[in-house]
Amino acid sequence: MKIRIVTLGCKLNFAESSQLMNTLIAKGHQRAGNGEEADLVIVNTCSVTDTADHKDRQAIHRVRRENPNARIVVTGCYARLKPQEISAMAEVDRVVQKAEDKFVPAYSKDDRTRCFLKVQDGCNYFCTYCTIPIARGRSRNPFIFEVVEEAQKALQEGAKEIILTGVNIGDFGHTTNERFIDLLRALDNIAGDFRIRISSCEPNLLSDEIIDFVAQSRHFAPHFHIPLQSGSDEVLKIMHRHYDTALFSERIRHIREVMPHAFIGVDCMVGVRGETEERFQTYVDYVNALPVSQLHVFTYSERANTRMLEMDLPVVPQKERQRRSRILHEISDWKLKAFYDSYRGQKATVLWESKRDKGLMYGFTENYIKVSCPYDKSKVNTFEEITV
C-alpha cells in the first residue's frame, strides 16, 4: 500500500509521524512519492488553538482533493478532543482517537542534520487554559537507557544535533523513578561530535542544577526555551501555573550569570480570561525588562473542557487579543535584533543544514543565531567555526 502521512502542529507530532511511517514501511508498505496518489493518507492533527483546528480541516480537504480514492484516517490531538467534528467530515474514513497511556518512543529528522527525540509525553499539570493533558494523557517517559539507545541510533544515522522533545520534558522521570538531570548526564556522556538542545522546559523544573550542568556540559547548547505565559502574577495564578514572576526572573538571572551568551526564547500567551488592561500592562513592563532573546507569542483561544471556561472572569475581546499580540511581537522583534547585534563579529560554531534557497544555505550557531553562506554541498551537516 502507498501511504502518505500529513503532519500538523508540534515537533512531537512530527517525531511520532516519522516513527509511524518507519513502522509501516517495516511492515512492507511504501511511502507515496511527491505528487503520487496514495492508497492511505494519515492526517496527524494538532488542536492547540482554534486556528490549529481550522488548519487541520483545511489539510483534510486538501488531502481528499489530491487523493480522491485514498482511505483517509485522522489521528492526533484534534481527533482525540473532537472526534465527532472530524467524523462529520465527508472526506474522513476513520478517526483514531485513543490517547496512548504507555510511552511510544519516536524520533524524526527534519533533514539529515537535526533529530527531534521524544523523551517524554503527556502532562499532569492541568493549566486552566490547556487541553493537552486531555489530548495526550498523563506524563510518562521511557527509561534513561532507552533514550540513550535511541539517541545513539539517530547519531549513527548521521544526525549532528538532537533536540529533546516532549510535552513537559522537565517532568521526565515521573514513570521510571529517574531524574531529568540524570538523563542529561547520560546523554552528555555519549562520545562524538554533536550537540543537544533542550526544547521547552517549565521554569519550576529548570533547576539551578540543570542550568549549571548545561553550562559545563560537552554537548548541550546554551539555548533555553522557557514558557512564561504571563508576566502578571495574578494571571499566572488564574492559569494555574506552577511559578510566579519572581521565580521566573531568578531562573533567567541564573542562566545569564553562568551563560551570558545563551539564547533564551520565552513562550508568552496573550488575551486569556482575566487578563485585564492593568494586568496586561504589568506583563508588558515585565517582559520589556526581562533579559531574554525572543518571545514566542500565542493568542489565547477558548478550548472546550478547560477549567478557564468555568471561571468567572472578564473575557478579552478578539480585537484586543490581536492588539496585545502585536505589542508582544514588537517587543520580541527588538529583543531578537538586540541579541543578534550583540554577537556581530564574535566567533561561533555553525551546523550547516541541507536546504538550498536562492543559492544560499543556512545553519544555527550553538546559541541559535541563524546564519547563511553561499551553498556548498560539502558543508552540509558539518560544523564550521565562523565569525557572526
Site for ligand SF4 in 166-195 (CB under 6 A): 167-168
Shorter beta-carbon distance to ligand SF4: residue 248 or 339: 248
Q: How far is the CB of 239 from ligand SF4 (least distance, A)?
A: 8
Shorter beta-carbon distance to ligand SF4: residue 91 or 202: 202
Q: How far is the CB of 3 from ligand SF4 (least distance, A)?
A: 30
x/- binding map, residues 70-89, to ligand SF4, per CB under 6 A?
--------------------
Does 270 contact ligand SF4 by CB under 6 A?
no
Q: How far is the CB of 279 from ligand SF4 (least distance, A)?
A: 19
Report the first-to-last Cα separation within the chain, whole angstroms.
48
Dihedrals φ, ψ of 58, to 5°? -60, -40
Closest CA to 135 of 94, 104, 167: 167
Shorter beta-carbon distance to ligand SF4: residue 48 or 214: 48
3-state DSSP percent of the chain in helix, strand and coil, to 5 = 40, 25, 40
Q: How far is the CB of 18 from ligand SF4 (least distance, A)?
A: 21
> For residue 127, how far is the Cα from the chain centroid?
17
Q: Which three cell numbers stand for residue 12?
A: 512531537
Residue 368, SS3 per DSSP: coil
Shorter beta-carbon distance to ligand SF4: residue 16 or 91: 16
Q: What contacts 102, CB < 8 A, 6 or more positions away? A: 140
> For residue 284, how far is the Cα from the chain centroid?
24
Shorter beta-carbon distance to ligand SF4: residue 132 or 184: 132
Shorter beta-carbon distance to ligand SF4: residue 222 or 227: 227
* Partner residues linked to 44 by β-bridges: 7, 75
Q: How far is the CB of 45 from ligand SF4 (least distance, A)?
A: 17
Shorter beta-carbon distance to ligand SF4: residue 129 or 364: 129
Burial class (CB in 10 A: 0-12, 13-18, 19+), 251: buried
Site for ligand SF4 in 198-217 (CB under 6 A): 202
Burial class (CB in 10 A: 0-12, 13-18, 19+), 262: buried
Number of residues binding to ligand SF4, judged by CB under 6 A: 10
Q: 108 to each of 146, 153, 371, how far by Cα in Å?
A: 16, 12, 23
Site for ligand SF4 in 109-148 (CB under 6 A): 123, 125-127, 130, 132-133
Which residues of the shown chain bind ligand SF4 in the complex (CB under 6 A)? 123, 125-127, 130, 132-133, 167-168, 202
